Structure 1
Amino acid sequence: MRGLERFVREDTGAVSAQLALVFPLLLLVWLAGTQVALHLHAVHSAHTVAVQTLAVAQAVDGSSAEASAHGEWLLTGLDSSALRGAELVVDRRRDLATVRVSGATVKLLPMWEFEVRAEVSGPVEQFTNPGAGGSR
């Protein structure tokens, strides 16, 4: 019993033991915060590419191919750490254009996998002739 009391009373090396327990937890919290920040940056980047690609697809003289080329050009200009494995899909129909950007966030923690998706759509610009009764 005396040995146990002496062990409990002595605090030699307690700071080292506490740091050995707390430091990995602090490191994990810091990495988790950085992971969330990287994910938010990737979401913002994907949404920006989608919106700018949609603007090209919505133009009167635009096309899916032209919008796709513009979107790919924007994706190559992104920092490679922002969005990994980015995929761009442009769908331009007669009156509606849709752009989808998907990818993944860089992994700092092996247990988390964040996927990024951005989808925007809008009407395709069309010229109308007001003298023809509003027909297209």
Structure 2
Amino acid sequence: MTASPRRLRSDRGVVVTQLVLVVPALLMMGLLVVQFALVWHARHVAQYTAQRALAAARVEDGTAADGRMQARRSLAALGSRVLTTSSVTAERTATRTTVRVNGVVIRVLPVPGLVLHASGTASGPTERITIPAGGQP
């Protein structure tokens, strides 16, 4: 018996093969979009935290420790799950205050060695009382 040409060209099983190849690729692309959305969000959380910490540290009676404490509170309220392993540095001089917030973004993609960082920096003049040059206001 010979096989008919109709049986040799059967498309049977092709859909399963396509699904096995296409679905993981689509899933990976979707996870990649979610991962970079989390990076974008974590950068905004870090920047907002740095700005809040700067506002606390730069006031006349404020200290760098006040800025770090405010940053920790902001991170606990906003980004403790998105921005992990965070660090806060605050520097205050007589004229300038700077706060930096760094952290590691939570990982969605199961890629070994993938470590994405997010950071935010805020800097501004330190508030202080000054006397006009002429001696009288």
One fold, TM greater than 0.5? yes
Unaligned runs of 5+ in 1: none
SS of equivalent to 2:115: coil
- Correspondence for 2:130: 128
Which 10-residue stretch deviates more, 11-20 or 76-85? 76-85
**2:12 is matched by which residue type in structure 1?**
T
Structure with greater helix share of residues: 1
Query: Does the 8 Å CA contact 2:67/2:99 hold for their aligned counterparts?
Result: no
Alpha-carbon distance change, 79 to 47 in structure 1, aligned in 2, over 3 angstroms: closer
SS of equivalent to 1:118: strand
**1:23 is matched by which residue type in structure 2?**
V
Unaligned runs of 5+ in 2: none
Identity fraction in percent:
36
Runs of 4+ in structure 1 off by over 3 angstroms are 5-8
TM-score (norm 2): 0.86
TM-score (norm 1): 0.87
The offset of 1:6, in angstroms, is 7.2
Alpha-carbon distance change, 23 to 128 in structure 1, aligned in 2, over 3 angstroms: same
The offset of 1:91, in angstroms, is 0.5
- The aligned length equals 131
- Correspondence for 1:105: 105
Query: Does the 8 Å CA contact 2:90/2:98 hold for their aligned counterparts?
Result: yes
**2:129 is matched by which residue type in structure 1?**
F
Per-residue CA shift, 1:13-57, capped at 9, x if unaligned? 111111111000000000000000111110000000001100111
Cα RMSD for the two superposed structures: 2.0
Per-residue CA shift, 1:42-75, capped at 9, x if unaligned? 0000000001100111111111111111111111
